[in-house]
Amino acid sequence: MDGGASYNPRTVEEVFRDFKGRRAGMIKALTTDVEEFYQQCDPEKENLCLYGFPSEQWEVNLPAEEVPPELPEPALGINFARDGMQEKDWLSLVAVHSDAWLLSVAFYFGSRFGFDKADSMINDLPTIFEVVTGTAKKQVKEKSSVSNHSSNKTKSNSKQRGSESQGKYSKAMQAKDEDDEGLDEEDEEDHGETLCGACGENYASDEFWICCDICEKWFHGKCVKITPARAEHIKQYKCPSCSNKRARP
C-alpha cells in the first residue's frame, strides 16, 4: 500500500482527476462493495484506514509507518467502531472522514500552485457522505420537481444536473436505508408520479433511475441497461430512443 504517494499531480486538472479517482474508489467501498468492506474492517485487527486510489480502487490497510507520511493520512481505527454502532451510522461516519481525507490530499497537492479552479470543480460533486446517506438523491429530486414549473431552458439545465447526480448515485446505500421509512415515503411522494420511459412503471425510492439529457424522460437503470458504476462515467446520457434518432437538417 502506497496510498498513491508516488503519483504527484502538477496541474489543477490532474489534481481534480486524482480527487475523482480516489473518491470513486471510496464510494465503491461504501456502496457497491460494502459487504466486502465491512468484513475487512475486523475490530480484532490493528488500526485500519480506508484508502482510495486514483485508479478508482479502494483498500483497507494499516497507516503508513513513516512520520510524517508522504500523503495526509485517512482516519485511523475505523474498524474499532464497526460493531459498536448501527451499520448505516458507521458507514456514514466513515464517509465523512473519507471526505475530509480527500480534501486534505487534494489541497496537499494543490498547495504548490493555488487551488481556485480545482476547488470549484470539486464543489460541483456531491460529497461521499451525501452519496452514502442518499442526500444527493433527495436534493436532485427537489430540483427536478421545481423545474417542472419553470421555463424549458431552466428545466433542461436542472434535468441535466439531475442526470449527473441522481443518475450516478441514487442507488447509493439503498440496501442500508431500509430503516429510513419516513424519508423514503417523502421521496415517493415527491417523485411518485414519474413514470419510466421504457416500462411505464412508477418511480420507487429503492431503484436506480437515470434521466435522458435529450428528451428529459426518466428510466429505470435496469430497463436501459445502465448501472450506477457505468453512469458515473457518462457526461451526457441519451436514452435508446434519442440515440437512434438522426440529427435533423
158, 147 contact by CB (below 8 A):
yes
Over residues 152-162, the pLDDT tens digits come to 433 333 333 34
Quick check: 132 and 172 in contact, CB under 8 A?
yes
Q: Verify cis geometry, omega within 30 degrees of 0, for the bond prior to 68.
A: yes
Q: What is the pLDDT of residue 172?
A: 36
Read off the pLDDT of residues 20-52 as tens digits, 9 standing for 90 and up. 999 999 999 999 999 999 999 999 999 999 999
| Structure confidence by residue, pLDDT tens digits, 49-87 | 999 999 999 999 999 888 888 889 999 999 999 999 999
Top-ranked range on mean pLDDT: pick from 139-143, 169-173, 207-211:
207-211
pLDDT the model gives residue 68: 85
Which is it for strands 209-211 and 218-220: parallel, antiparallel or unpaired? antiparallel
Give the model's confidence band at 213: pLDDT under 50 very low, under 70 low, under 90 confident, else very high: confident
In terms of DSSP H, where are the helices of the chain?
Answer: 12-30, 34-40, 87-110, 116-123, 128-133, 135-147, 152-169, 181-191, 228-231, 240-244
Burial class (CB in 10 A: 0-12, 13-18, 19+), 188: middle
Which pTM value belongs to this model? Answer: 0.54
pLDDT at 199: 80
Altogether, the residues listed in the chain come to a count of 249
Quickly state the pLDDT bin for 173 (edges 50, 70, 90).
very low
pLDDT of residue 192: 55
d(CA 217, CA 213): 8
Cell numbers placing 69: 507520511
Distance (Å, whole) CA 241 – CA 231: 18
| Burial group, residue 35, by CB count within 10 angstroms (0-12, 13-18, 19+) | exposed
